[in-house]
């Protein structure tokens, strides 16, 4: 059926989301995956304010972001 839906599950690194839009055909019109690392990366700018470049590397490691997930 035509419409849209968002589903989420709890993954080891955070929420894993799936967004699906259907135009009523057997194939989805649009399908997006929102991995946990993508959401966790959004806080990185706020965490790095006032820090040095060397600290940014440590902060990035502490958030444990998988860069392959955020590469679009």
User: CB count, 10 Å around CB of 45?
Assistant: 8
Higher pLDDT, 65 or 51: 51
List CB contacts of 28: < 8 A, sequence separation 6 or more: 20, 21, 22
The ranges assigned to domains in the chain are: 3-70
List CB contacts of 70: < 8 A, sequence separation 6 or more: 35, 37, 38, 41
Higher pLDDT, 7 or 67: 7
pLDDT digits (tens, 9 = 90+) for 16-60: 999 999 999 999 999 999 999 988 888 888 999 999 999 988 998
pTM over cut 0.75: no
Residue 51's pLDDT is: 95
Please give the backbone phi and psi of residue 69, each rounded to the nearest 5 degrees, phi first: -75, -30
Residue 21's pLDDT is: 98
């Amino acid at each position: 059926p035509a419409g849209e839906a968002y589903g989420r599950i709890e993954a080891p690194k955070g929420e894993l989301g799936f967004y699906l839009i259907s135009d009523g055909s057997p194939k989805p019109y649009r399908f997006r995956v929102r991995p946990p690392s993508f959401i966790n990366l959004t806080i990185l700018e706020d965490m790095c304010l006032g820090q040095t470049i060397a600290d940014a590397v440590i902060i990035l490691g502490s958030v444990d972001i998988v860069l392959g997930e955020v590469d679009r």
